[in-house]
Amino acid sequence: MPRPKLCRKIRFNPNITYFKPQGVPMRFLEMVELTTEEAEALRLKNIKNLEQIECAEQMKTSQSTFQRILSSAYKKISDALINGKAIKIIK
């Protein structure tokens, strides 16, 4: 049985939850789902320009877990940009 998921501190609630390539209807697009946890990691690291240790502290998680969350977010966004997929932020 997997370990229960810990509650992470997320201070970001996006108003816009879909991003898609221009000119392509949603029904023709594959979708990548980005969690609010991953969006928060991206916000802290890239928008607030915090060090990973500070980011992890703000999210109430370890630095290694923060790195895994951030890597997952980068991989999903890269897939969406390179392969022309929509991005949906899920809660």
For the chain, the domains span: 34-90
Residue 91: pLDDT band (50, 70, 90) is: confident
| CATH of the domain spanning 34-90 | 1.10.10
Q: Compute how many other C-beta atoms are within 10 angstroms of the C-beta atom of residue 45.
A: 20
Backbone φ and ψ for 88, nearest 5 degrees, come out as: -120, 125
What confidence score (pLDDT) does residue 7 get?
Answer: 65
Sheet containing 18-19: order of strands: 18-19, 86-90, 31-35
Q: State pLDDT tens for residues 43-66.
A: 999 999 999 999 999 999 999 999
Average pLDDT of span 56-83: 96
Using the predicted structure, report yes or no on whether residue 3 has a pLDDT greater than 70: no
pTM score, two decimals? 0.86
